[in-house]
Amino acid sequence: MEASVKGTDIVRVLLVGENPQSFSLSQQLLERNGCKCHFAASLEAAKDLLHLWQFDIVLSTHIVPSETIGRLVRLLSGSGISLFSSLRVEEGSWWLPVLQFGKECYGPALRVGDFAHLLVDLRKQRRAS
């Protein structure tokens, strides 16, 4: 995507996990597509960032089911935010939808490259509303 992404087209993504390196491929793709990424190493840090910024997507390296994912679901339900959990597969990892636009939704899993399509859809939805 072009570097001149309009302010309303910027998608904010919160990365929640133990270390930022676990998001490196996803973060590179997201930033190339005009996203602004923020990292939180704990649920408490994520809550703080959620109070500071309006996020569109939350990616977590915590797996389903886990206490952290459960707490994120409770925190984000009804918010309009989409939450994805890391799903380890032989050739790397995929992202499993847990919430889509604030509503529980499990699957289908997305490869890192599929996020480009998700971002286009998210931007179209924003413009329509």
Residue pLDDT, tens place only, 59-116? 999 888 889 999 999 999 999 899 999 987 877 788 999 998 899 998 788 888 887 8
**129 lies in some domain:** no
CATH number at residue 55: 3.40.50.2300
Amino acid at 86: S
Distance from chain centroid for Cα 17 = 12
pLDDT tens-place string over residues 41-61: 999 999 999 999 999 999 999
**106 lies in some domain:** yes
- Pull the structure tokens for residue 122: 């998210």
Domain that holds residue 101: 7-124
Encode 29-50 in three state secondary structure.
HHHHCCEEEEEECCHHHHHHHH
Count of structural domains, the chain: 1
SS3 6: coil
**81 lies in some domain:** yes
Angle at 7 between CA 116 and CA 126, to 5 degrees: 60
Note the pTM of the prediction, 2 decimals: 0.87
